[in-house]
A = this chain, B = another copy of it.
């Protein structure tokens, strides 16, 4: 004898009867495998890169990303809110992060002349130097973990897929699920 609803929690419904039309749409067995692979890879990858950068550059991956954005910006500076938007993190998180990077001497702040509420985060020479010194090792880690293992088609596919997912989650779409407000 079987329990009536063996494994109906988590992601999958393995009961023999199909879910009711108005009930939850569980993930299929295939979808579930895809999702687990994604979670596992994403977890391992973020972990791996965090460790690599913590060891070689003395900062977590997100912080490294902030320095990169600044390095790519004109005059190596960016408004706090804009930087937060680019890095896909909250302004609060950025505030704390910049505070820490400032302590390291890798970033400094400067008031925005045209908007007295505004702040620029600016990559210092020292910060640039850290980036220059550690970038090769980091790129290498990314290569080894991702690009060297994928065919060109897979790389292309990954790009398309992630672009779609990212677009669907942009805060710009925040109101898109509240159509009654439009």
Task: List the interface of chain A (C-beta within 8 A of B).
Answer: 7-11, 23-27, 30-31, 33-35, 37-48, 62, 65, 68, 71-72, 87-89, 128, 131-132, 135-136, 139-140, 142-147, 149-150, 154-166, 168-170
Q: Write out the residue numbers on chain B whose beta carbons fall within 8 Å of the beta carbon of A45.
A: 42, 165, 169
Residues B131 and A9 in contact, CB atoms below 8 Å apart: yes
The answer to whether B11 touches A136, judged by C-beta atoms less than 8 angstroms apart, is no
Which 9 residue pairs spanning A and B have beta carbons closest together? Answer: A24-B136, A34-B159, A41-B166, A41-B162, A44-B169, A37-B162, A10-B68, A41-B165, A9-B131
- Nearest chain B CB to A101 CB, angstrom units: 15
Partner of A135, one of B11, B132, B162, B166: B11
Q: Is the CB of B131 within 8 A of A34?
A: no
B-side contacts of A128, CB under 8 Å:
9
22 sample A-B contacts, Cβ–Cβ < 8 Å, listed by A number: A9-B71, A9-B128, A10-B71, A10-B135, A11-B135, A24-B136, A24-B140, A27-B143, A31-B147, A31-B155, A37-B163, A37-B166, A40-B88, A40-B166, A41-B162, A41-B165, A44-B88, A45-B165, A149-B165, A149-B168, A150-B161, A157-B161
